[in-house]
Amino acid sequence: MLLSLVITAGAALGVVESFLPPAALQCHPSVPFGTAAAARLGRNKGLPVPAASSRDGGSGGGVEDQGRRWEEMDRGGGGGDADDDLLSEVKGRDWRLFRKNLITRYGEDIGKDPWSDGCWAHDIGTVEAGCLLIATEEIDSGTFHQSVILVLSHARDQGTLGLILNRPGPQRLRSLPGLQPDLAEVFGDSQVFDGGPMGLGTMTVLHDANVEGSDPVLDGGVFAGGFDTLVDVTRQGTVSKDRVRFVHGHSAWSPGQLQGELDHNQWFVAAAAPELITEHCDKPFHPLWTKLLRLMGGKYQEVAKRNEPRL
């Protein structure tokens, strides 16, 4: 399914290098991923990252178009007092949750607070950094069967980079050669997840702790890196080890490749609550995949029901 697209481990997942010895990392010739997510993940190592590029997506109206408008305002576009007031409300909060609740309000014609919290997932139709790719029934075997992939970066002319979230492997972190003693002590029993068939000399860590040295992957509470501080706060009991996920390798698509798979109905594209991305997962395939589809409701819930294990 995936071309042998080689990603620079340092540029896209640079924050992971601090706990693996050089021999364990295979850094390859660069294929640029010029998105904000890749820039954030690579900047701590001082590695060159290309300027950000626009994401794929149509020019529609309604809630989705409003979301893009907010992003433009945050970059300095837009204008007017109303826009300024709206931006002050949105800044620092997960606008994807706001979008989800606006969709619910328009669909049900009810007047609830669009910032209300909760466990949620919904279809967005357009790939963007921070979204989830959820395998459809068209992928009925292999690495990506019932997989859920967190998209780290996506650009029309540069391709897509992501991590499979629901493939816990048999390895424990302590089995890695050259692991730093502090990490072995605190996270040695943590499972190592399979992030995909690419970049098998790389590893990253996802968690929900906004600690020093970490980089935001998703607004609302998903971060990468910050190993030294992460060890300290976990020792203190302020961060749960169950919310820290070590991911080996990644998944990647060349420009246009993912769109081809979308055209063949191989993926659903969804936004989801950050809590779902970092929650404890110790079983492969079914639980996270099914949970997301059920939360999305409608036809997606029917897919989940069809694939319930028979007792």
Question: Pick the residue with more confidence: 83 or 267?
Answer: 267
- Compute the average pLDDT of residues 46-75: 32
What is the tens place of the pLDDT at every residue in 6-57?
233 333 333 333 333 333 333 222 222 333 333 333 333 222 222 223 333 3
What is the tens place of the pLDDT at every residue in 105-154?
434 444 433 334 468 999 998 999 999 999 999 999 999 999 999 999 99
* Residue 283 in this model has a pLDDT that exceeds 60: yes
Residue 145 has what DSSP assignment?
A: T
Most confident of 103-112, 189-198, 277-286: 189-198
- Compute the average pLDDT of residues 170-199: 92
Confidence band of 285 (pLDDT split at 50, 70, 90): low
Q: What is 69-138 written as a DSSP string?
A: HHHHHHTT---SHHHHHHHHHHTTS-HHHHHHHHHHHHHHT----TT-----EEE--S--TT-EEEE-TT
* Residue 192 in this model has a pLDDT that exceeds 80: yes
pTM, 2 dp:
0.66
Q: Cα 196 vs. chain centroid, distance in angstroms?
A: 13
- For CA atoms 280, 282, 285, 290, the dihedral sign is negative
- Nearest of 178, 172, 187, 175 to residue 235 by alpha carbon: 187
Is there a contact between 107 and 116 (Cβ–Cβ < 8 Å)? Answer: no
Tell me what pLDDT residue 286 has. Answer: 63
Residue 208 has what DSSP assignment?
A: S
* Residue 210 in this model has a pLDDT that exceeds 60: yes
Residues linked to residue 123 through DSSP beta bridges, in sequence order: 270
Which domains does the chain carry? 9-54+125-306 (3.40.1740.10)
- Compute the average pLDDT of residues 190-214: 91
Tell me what pLDDT residue 56 has. Answer: 34
